[in-house]
Amino acid sequence: MIGAGGVATVAAFKIAQNADVFTEFMIASRRKAKCDKIVEDIHKAGYKLDIKTAQVDADDVEQLKALFSDYKPELVINLALPYQDLTIMDACLACGCNYLDTANYEPKDEAHFEYSWQWAYRERFEKAGLTAILGCGFDPGVTSIYTAYAAKHHFKEIQYLDIVDCNAGDHHKAFATNFNPEINIREITQKGLYWEDGKWVETEPLEIHKDLTYPEIGPRDSYLLHHEEIESLVINYPTIKRARFWMTFGQQYLKHLEVIQNIGMSRIDEVEYEAPLADGSGVAKVKIVPLQFLKAVLPNPQDLGENYEGQTSIGCRIRGIGNDGKEHTYYVYNNCSHRAAYEETGMQGVSYTTGVPAMIGAMMFCKGLWNTPGVHNVEEFDPDPFMEQLNKQGLPWHEIHDGDLEL
């Protein structure tokens, strides 16, 4: 596993809990000390799996190749940042390793994500007999598997798909992001995008919003965003007439975000800054990226868990033609408690809902259930064994048939 952040910590705990499937395991990241700390916490919690650790800069293909040739992993779980997807895929190809991630590639200098960069590896993975599993977190990840499950069991034709993501948690900070702040702010400040009648429709950032009611939570203002799983789902389910993604934000969060943008702190280009030297002997001209600097002063998402109350609720609201030829609606979702996630893994619910599916995806691969060579989005695999594991591994799902979808 590459990365030692919030999501990686959860995935490592869950891997240690499933030591009958994962018999050998290594955590490698930019800073080895963070990997060692995860292992220490896992062992303190009573799990016995022997876990190796290593230092690696995942921006450097040669370093990755040296590590993979030495450790010889069957599967590399990429839980670093989206910037590293391609270097890790290159190293996997060079060393004969299979690959899994939770977020699609994004270039550092352009706030833009799409699958084309990773889909371009399809033929090479296929020829090498290797499997790459893309987008195996919660969204993307579980939301795509929910859609595959609905298509397999409940619908002849999925026509309308709305993915709804609510975080009704309170971490008692004025402003904090729930996963890597740089990636999170880049995602939210982009233009909105959704699929309708065979084409993409663009909106201004956070232009479209409406109150949606979430189970056990109630109504929350939900904003239409561009989200990566829509891109593959409309290809894999061509009957979809409209597909959208909604995420809740509170007024306080949005107010801070607006100020951050207005004062230029969400910029991703370099600005020159005169920094005083540590010994007081003068100044040095340095280049900083404002958004990366902002990340350094914002609360670390990994430290939010302790006082986090409330829960997340993420699901798919689907309308289409059922197996009986009549129109039906279907809502499948999970609610996850921040407190329960923290008590089990030391991390909050957003890291938990991403790290658990990453482990289950790895389990599907290791059990030989999801290992078709090539580069695949998760909905291309059989959803049933994954859905079964969600119930066993801490993310149980619930269904509402023929309810009011509000959308």
Residue 41 within binding range of ligand NDP, rule CB under 6 A: no
What's the DSSP call for residue 136? -
Choose among 126, 132, 130: nearest CA to 105: 132
Residue 183 within binding range of ligand NDP, rule CB under 6 A: yes
Catalogue the E-assigned strands of 259-397.
271-276, 283-288, 311-322, 327-337, 374-377
Stretch that binds ligand NDP, among 13-21, 91-99, 119-127, 133-141 (CB under 6 A): 133-141
Give phi and psi for 124, each to the nearest 5: -65, -40
Q: Is the Cβ–Cβ distance between 350 and 184 less than 8 Å?
A: no
Nearer to ligand NDP, 10 or 154 (CB): 10
CA 144 to chain centroid, in Å, comes to 12
Least Å distance between CB 89 and ligand NDP?
14
57-76 residues in contact with ligand NDP (CB under 6 A) are: 57-59
Least Å distance between CB 129 and ligand NDP?
26
Q: What is the 3-state secondary structure (H, E, C) of 109-123?
A: CCCCCCCHHHHCCHH
Q: Which position's Cβ is nearest ligand NDP? A: 5
Residue 225 within binding range of ligand NDP, rule CB under 6 A: no
- What mask of x and - would describe binding to ligand NDP in positions 255 to 294, judged by CB under 6 A? ----------------------------------------
Choose among 168, 163, 192: nearest CA to 407: 163
Give phi and psi for 104, each to the nearest 5: -80, 160
Nearer to ligand NDP, 8 or 51 (CB): 8
7-26 residues in contact with ligand NDP (CB under 6 A) are: 7-8
Least Å distance between CB 62 and ligand NDP?
13
**CA angle, corner 312, sides to 398 and 222, nearest 5?**
100
Least Å distance between CB 35 and ligand NDP?
8
Least Å distance between CB 179 and ligand NDP?
3
Cis peptide bond prior to 140, omega within 30° of 0: yes
Choose among 142, 82, 148: nearest CA to 336: 142
Residue 6 within binding range of ligand NDP, rule CB under 6 A: yes
Paired residues of 377 in beta bridges: 134
Tokens of 229: 């799983």
Tokens of 113: 């994500």
Stretch that binds ligand NDP, among 4-12, 108-116, 334-342, 382-390 (CB under 6 A): 4-12
CB atoms within 10 A of CB 231: 22
138-167 residues in contact with ligand NDP (CB under 6 A) are: 138-141
Residue 27 within binding range of ligand NDP, rule CB under 6 A: no
Stretch that binds ligand NDP, among 153-161, 176-184, 360-368, 374-382 (CB under 6 A): 176-184
With tokens 């996630």, the residue in question is 341
346-385 residues in contact with ligand NDP (CB under 6 A) are: 350-351, 354
Stretch that binds ligand NDP, among 3-11, 120-128, 156-164, 207-215 (CB under 6 A): 3-11
Under 8 Å CB-to-CB from 357, ≥6 apart: which residues? 102, 136, 137, 138, 141, 142, 145, 386, 390, 395
296-315 residues in contact with ligand NDP (CB under 6 A) are: 301-302
What's the DSSP call for residue 205? T
Residue 3 within binding range of ligand NDP, rule CB under 6 A: yes
Q: Quote the CA–CA distance of 348 and 6 in Å, as a whole number.
A: 8
Residues in contact with ligand NDP, total (CB under 6 A)?
35
The amino acid present at 137, given as its one-letter code, is: G
Residue 39 within binding range of ligand NDP, rule CB under 6 A: no
87-106 residues in contact with ligand NDP (CB under 6 A) are: 102-103
Contact footprint for ligand NDP (CB under 6 A):
2-8, 29-31, 34, 56-59, 79-82, 84, 102-103, 137-141, 179-180, 183, 301-302, 350-351, 354
